Amino acid sequence: MNTVPVADHLRHALNLKPQEVALRKELDEWLPEVIIDCHAHCNLEAHVKNVSDYAYKHMMSSFTYLSLEDSARLKDLFYPFRKVRSLRFPKTFRGIDHRAANEYLLNESPEDDRIAVFGLPEDFDYTVGIMRHPRASALKMYWSYVDPPAKKIYDFFTPEILEEAQALDLPIILHLPRMIVHTCDDLMAVLSDFPHLRVVLAHLGLSKLLVPGLEEAYRRAARSPNVWLDTALNPSPEVVSLALECFGRDRIMFGSDEPLNLLRSVAYKHPEKGERIVTDYQYHWVDPVEYAEYGHLAKDAVHAQWQCTLAIKKAVEGYPLEEQEGLKALIFQKTAEHVFRF
């Protein structure tokens, strides 16, 4: 089996750079008292049964596990003076024992936190059973959990399961199979088939840049009152601003994608491969040749945590001063409280 040296990765990531200490101070003065992180992954090492070659080659396998205790340590590191509540779900790739990971989160999560149960497209009875658990606040299913990876939403969120989610009024956390610009028709069809289903689009619909067609896709999706978005791993103030403008102030929620918020990367243009990212640390999924040549570009890179929180800060600062506190409270707390019943 592919083994990932997660402990080494954590050790590297938890050692703050001076610029990260400075950012923590800057953001500590800015962030609200209470923060809800509505996109966090959590499971134990014992739940990792297999890391496929597909997952192993992808940055999502940088941390195949992160326990509730590790998660508490990260809160102390990133926000030592804040009360942080989390909505957690297991890592998403096939090879995780999702049944055991769901049990772990449902039984062990602190009372103030919430759980999105992980559904299995191949096991309808299990999935609808776990959706009815009193601690289930949302349903997560994942596009590349199925093999081959899904091209359509119904390939992994099957209509039968969405029917149940709609009936239970349980929000789904939807990582689109591709960026929203390319999957908007598919999304609109699902929204029209399930007009009362509450849908939270992960990663602001997956666009990290203001690409052509993004505004149109956002405006189309925003016509449905049942769509929200989380900000997980989005480093662009322009994309956050556009999402706020198109969806309104009460439909965008902070998410960290913990533990992937521990990665420190920069984007660069490779002469042959086009736009790529390089990290400050040679993870198993980083091409060694590319790392040797371009790794220096990421020497001063800071955790995604800071890059993405700064993007929200910049977007909020584009609003009139007297509106900023209210907007911050919506993004970091109030909207998630309402959507996930915190």
> Is the distance from CB of 61 to CB of 55 less than 8 angstroms?
yes
CB of 232 to Zn ion, least distance (A): 6
How far apart are alpha carbons 187 and 99 in whole angstroms?
Answer: 28
CB of 13 to Zn ion, least distance (A): 16
Q: Which stretch binds Zn ion (CB under 5 A): 76-84, 205-213, 241-249, 253-261?
A: 253-261
CB of 258 to Zn ion, least distance (A): 9
Q: Which stretch binds Zn ion (CB under 5 A): 164-172, 217-225, 249-257, 276-284?
A: 249-257
CB of 60 to Zn ion, least distance (A): 8
Write each residue from 202 to 241 as x if it is in contact with Zn ion (CB under 5 A), else as -, in one continuous string: ----------------------------------------
Q: Counting contacts by CB under 5 A, is residue 257 touching Zn ion?
A: yes
6 closest CA partner among 56, 72, 40: 56
CB of 40 to Zn ion, least distance (A): 8
Number of residues counted as binding Zn ion (CB under 5 A) = 1
CB of 41 to Zn ion, least distance (A): 6
Q: Which stretch binds Zn ion (CB under 5 A): 45-53, 76-84, 125-133, 252-260?
A: 252-260
3-state helix, strand, coil in the chain (%, to 5): 50, 15, 35
CB of 92 to Zn ion, least distance (A): 7
> Is the distance from CB of 180 to CB of 221 less than 8 angstroms?
yes
What stretches of 169-294 show up as alpha helix (H) in DSSP?
Answer: 180-193, 214-222, 237-247, 288-294
Write each residue from 120 to 159 as x if it is in contact with Zn ion (CB under 5 A), else as -, in one continuous string: ----------------------------------------
Closer residue to Zn ion in complex, CB, 232/302: 232
Q: Which stretch binds Zn ion (CB under 5 A): 120-128, 210-218, 255-263, 316-324?
A: 255-263
CA-CA-CA-CA dihedral for 209, 215, 219, 225, to nearest 10: 20
> Is the distance from CB of 277 to CB of 250 less than 8 angstroms?
no
> Is the distance from CB of 217 to CB of 205 less than 8 angstroms?
yes
How far apart are alpha carbons 63 and 4 in whole angstroms?
Answer: 8
How far apart are alpha carbons 122 and 96 in whole angstroms?
Answer: 15
The interface with Zn ion within residues 82-101 (CB under 5 A) comprises: none
> Is the distance from CB of 111 to CB of 134 less than 8 angstroms?
no
Q: Angle, to 10 degrees, between the axis of helix 304-316 and the axis of helix 321-329? A: 130
Q: Counting contacts by CB under 5 A, is residue 258 touching Zn ion?
A: no
Closer residue to Zn ion in complex, CB, 59/211: 59
Closer residue to Zn ion in complex, CB, 257/280: 257
Return the beta strands (E) in the chain as ranges.
34-41, 83-89, 114-118, 136-141, 172-174, 199-201, 227-230, 252-253, 265-270, 274-279
How far apart are alpha carbons 41 and 23 in whole angstroms?
Answer: 23
CB of 88 to Zn ion, least distance (A): 10
Closer residue to Zn ion in complex, CB, 20/257: 257
Q: Which residue is nearest to Zn ion (CB)?
A: 257
Q: Counting contacts by CB under 5 A, is residue 280 touching Zn ion?
A: no
Which residues of this protein are in contact with Zn ion, per CB under 5 A?
257
